[in-house]
Amino acid sequence: MLAEQYLRDELNKFAKYVIQQSRSNLSKGKKNVSKELYNSLGYEISQSGSTMSLGFDMVDYGKFQDRGVSGTEKKYNTPYKYTNKMPPAKAFDKWTVRKGIAPRGKGGKFEKRKGLNYAIAKSIYKKGIRPSMFFTKPFAAAFKRLPDELVEAYSIGIEKQIQVNISK
């Protein structure tokens, strides 16, 4: 029971550090325009019998912001790439307003942004999204900081789990 509480406490510290640093990286990297990704970051520790697991949550597009996406002209070291489909231009409508690049007409009213949104989508399709590693870097740093005895004990558990899965 004491070992379970120790593991839960260490996983909590680990997860809180990863989330805090990831949020900080989003803000510093100016990838926090709508705050949607920032606010979606979370974690859950669950236990099933003697097995404890930690899962991180974020909106779907977070993985693309973290790992990046290769464009048709510019490539990054990432498993994601644009091939034959552009991102939807409509997705950039609110973003252009928040970034202050939406065109305004006389009287300060917003003009139609379809052309601008299309140009942004086409640029991202060609150039891709540069990896920010906003989540990956804090995760790796936090993993290095875990106590050695915890990593060793957890690694043995993973080894046994892999053996069980292979033998099925």
The residues spanned by each domain of the chain are 1-68+131-168, 69-130
- Using a 10 angstrom Cβ sphere, with 0-12 exposed, 13-18 middle and 19 or more buried, the burial of residue 156 is exposed
pLDDT tens digits along 63-99: 999 999 999 999 999 999 999 999 999 988 888 888 8
Sign for the CA dihedral angle at 87, 29, 136, 20 comes to negative
Phi and psi torsions of 54, nearest 5°:
-125, 130
* Count of CB atoms situated within 10 Å of the CB of 92: 21
Task: State the DSSP string of 66-122.
Answer: HH-BB-SSS--SSS-B-SS-PPPGGGGHHHHHHTT-S-B-GGG-B---HHHHHHHHH
pLDDT tens for residues 85-135?
999 999 888 888 888 887 877 887 777 888 889 999 999 999 999 999 999
